[in-house]
Amino acid sequence: MEKILVIGAAGQLGSELTKSLSVNFGSESVIATDLQESARAKFDYCHFEVLDVMNKEGLRNLVKNEKVTQIYHLAAVLSATGEKNPMFAWHLNMESLLHVLELAKEFKLDKVYWPSSIAVFGPNTPKINTPQYCVKEPNTVYGISKQAGERWCEYYFQKFNIDVRSLRYPGLIGYKSLPGGGTTDYAVDIYHKAIAGEKFDCFLKSDTSLPMMYMPDAIKATLDLMNAPRESVKIRSSYNLAAMSFTPKEIYESILPYYPKFEMEYHPDFRQAIADSWPDSIDDQCARNDWNWKPDFSLEEMTKDILENLPNYKF
Ligand code: SER
């Protein structure tokens, strides 16, 4: 039986991915962990443990005692939060990945999943249809940690045969949890404000185009990659992944038919420079070729789904 450990399970991605893993593998196969005891309430359907990923011995004991076979390591400090405390972000993002990779080696785990991001790209990267292989030069500590992490993943695959798999997520948009500290998070907050009947103050300029993805597509991509035969996974750093690109003005316009009185103002802050350093759109041909990736949701379909479901969603 697989025993799947999810680290950072209460985050934006983890909240939904952990549920899908439980549906696919059975709840008894999933162990959700997070830093906060308060996260326990979210995981009444599977085993939950409080775990600080920086607690190397605690993590090792859990992997050993529970006979873990796969780790999904989702805990990270995101781009905007990372800029406020760069050393902490570097320390947490890198040390935790290295702990996990070392444990994968020691306990011969079947698979490891670790998310990368469009933040690996930087101002010198081609902005339109950014290719899989190109200049990166990220200029946020989050992006630097993701780029270095990609190198370590590939290194552990090549040197130690660890089956580590990874995706460069665009901005992820879901309504089942609140986001924490990302530059793309305005595209989550905007729906909450529209539904609350409040004006939205956007921290990016109206024409800032960024690659984005609706959470069900991100979950599908993650599970498809993890279920793909080992030999199909040809990229062991991290795959480019795309679904849609839009600007703040375009997402606002997708909401207007549902909330015609909704208003939005633009007050760009330090996150504008982060967004400006990232691609407008992504070429994900390798993911499409290697494991048949294809997204389901456009901006209009996502907006419709969120505005229909979020008002009744119980946090
Ligand atoms: N969504 C992330 C962020 O904005 C990028 O991976 O930080």
| pLDDT digits 0-9 by tens, 23-76 | 999 999 999 999 999 999 999 999 999 999 999 999 999 999 999 999 999 999
In whole angstroms, give the CA distance from residue 32 to residue 254: 35
User: 4-170+214-240 maps to which CATH number?
Assistant: 3.40.50.720
DSSP state of 130: B
Q: Closest residue (by CA) to atom 6 of ligand 1? A: 117
- With vertex at residue 27, the alpha carbon angle to CA 22 and CA 28, rounded to the nearest 5 degrees, is 140
Pocket test for ligand 1, best of 77, 183, 189, 213 (most atoms within 8 A of CB): 183
* Closest ligand 1 atom to Cα of 274: 4
Q: Closest residue (by CA) to atom 1 of ligand 1? A: 171
Instruction: Give yes or no for a contact between 300 and 254, defined as CB atoms under 8 angstroms apart.
Output: yes
| pLDDT digits 0-9 by tens, 80-91 | 999 999 999 999
Q: How far is the CA of 1 from the centre of ligand 1 (A)?
A: 34
Q: What is the mean pLDDT of the chain?
A: 97
Instruction: Give yes or no for a contact between 32 and 25, defined as CB atoms under 8 angstroms apart.
Output: no
pLDDT value at 315 more than 80: no
In whole angstroms, give the CA distance from residue 136 to residue 207: 23
Q: How far is the CA of 78 from the centre of ligand 1 (A)?
A: 6
pLDDT value at 158 more than 80: yes
The yes/no answer on whether domain 175-212+245-283+297-312 falls in CATH 2.30.29 is no
pLDDT of residue 242: 98
Domain ranges, ordered by start, for the chain: 4-170+214-240, 175-212+245-283+297-312
pLDDT of residue 140: 98
Span 208-220, average pLDDT:
98
Domains 4-170+214-240 and 175-212+245-283+297-312 are alike in CATH topology = no
Residues with CB under 6 A from ligand 1: 78-79, 117-119, 142, 169, 171, 182-184
| pLDDT digits 0-9 by tens, 170-195 | 999 999 988 779 999 999 999 999 99
In whole angstroms, give the CA distance from residue 306 to residue 164: 32
- Show Cβ contacts of residue 166 under 8 Å, excluding neighbours closer than 6 positions: 113, 114, 115, 116, 150, 153, 236, 237, 238, 239
Span 101-112, average pLDDT:
98
pLDDT of residue 28: 97
In whole angstroms, give the CA distance from residue 309 to residue 252: 18
Catalytically active residues are 142
Q: What letter represents residue 266's amino acid?
A: Y
**Helix H or strand E encompassing 224:** helix 215-227
Q: How far is the CA of 202 from the centre of ligand 1 (A)?
A: 16
pLDDT of residue 175: 94
| C-alpha torsion sign, points 196, 201, 206, 212 | negative
Q: How far is the CA of 91 from the centre of ligand 1 (A)?
A: 18
| C-alpha torsion sign, points 217, 25, 177, 152 | negative
In whole angstroms, give the CA distance from residue 114 to residue 167: 8
Pocket test for ligand 1, best of 12, 168, 184 (most atoms within 8 A of CB): 184
* Closest ligand 1 atom to Cα of 179: 1
